[in-house]
Amino acid sequence: MQDEQEFRRAAESALEALKQHLIEREESEDTGFEVEEQAGALNVLFEDAGSKFVVTPNTPVRQIWISALATSFKLDWDAGKKSFVLPRTGEQLIPLLDRLIGQHLGA
């Protein structure tokens, strides 16, 4: 993805879909977390010990970054899947974040 505007649109769309997914999870089960939007980033706030995950678009490098479990996960745009994907596992944004939340909560 070369164009900055194109990246911003894709990132905004991906983060909006992620936010909706997390809000649905939050409302349908006792998840142990809540999601909030802050300055273009999504924060997943956990009830335990005030820990949180942060999901942010990184425009200069055209990636979405997830700061979680003391690690930085850097997702690249995959044009074929029309999704942001973690290169080393092939996981897309929503399934990856679901897995990380599960790991954090010990599920």
pTM (2 decimals)?
0.91
Give the domain ranges of the chain: 4-102
- Helix (H) / strand (E) containing 10: helix 4-28
Q: Give the pLDDT confidence score for residue 1 in this predicted structure.
A: 58
Residue among 71, 90, 82 nearest 11 (CA): 82
Q: Which class in CATH covers the domain with range 4-102? A: alpha beta
Q: How many CA atoms lie within 13 A of 93 on its CB side?
A: 30
pLDDT tens, the chain, 107 aa long: 568 999 999 999 999 999 999 999 988 877 789 999 999 999 999 987 679 999 999 999 999 999 999 999 999 999 999 999 999 999 999 999 999 999 998 86
Q: Give the pLDDT confidence score for residue 16 in this predicted structure.
A: 96
